[in-house]
């Protein structure tokens, strides 16, 4: 089961995505993509989180969590990802 949500981008999209990429990869994860779409994975204390993103009109990014540890709530993962984009 997957979980999708959108994040509003309030500044330059490429700069924001570069910041997100640096945050994820500096913590041992992967980030592959462009200003239109991509994928990512990240390590947590209880397992890997995997997802995809796509940029949509009106400066928003739609994020879909495709895989997560069973015990990790989507709300916590979403909250953490939203922080990456702030």
Q: For residue 69, which of 48, 52, 41, 42 has the smallest C-alpha distance?
A: 48
Instruction: Note the pLDDT tens digit of each residue in 74-85.
Output: 999 999 999 988
**What is the Cα–Cα distance from 22 to 20, expressed in whole angstroms?**
5
Residue recorded with tokens 């709530």: 73
31 φ/ψ angles, rounded to the nearest 5 degrees: -145, 120
What is the structure's pLDDT at 21? 96
Instruction: Note the pLDDT tens digit of each residue in 14-67.
Output: 999 999 999 999 999 999 999 999 999 998 888 999 999 999 987 899 999 999
**Would you give the end-to-end CA distance of the chain in angstroms?**
26
Flag whether the pTM goes above 0.85.
yes
What is the structure's pLDDT at 85? 87
């Amino acid at each position: 089961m997957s979980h999708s949500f959108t994040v509003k981008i309030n500044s330059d999209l490429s700069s924001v995505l570069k910041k997100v990429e640096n945050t994820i990869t500096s913590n041992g994860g992967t980030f592959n993509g462009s200003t239109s779409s991509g994928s990512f994975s990240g390590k947590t204390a209880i397992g890997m989180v995997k997802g995809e993103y796509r940029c949509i009109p009106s400066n928003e990014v739609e994020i879909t969590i495709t895989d997560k540890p069973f015990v990790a709530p989507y709300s916590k993962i979403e909250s953490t990802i939203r922080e990456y984009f702030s």
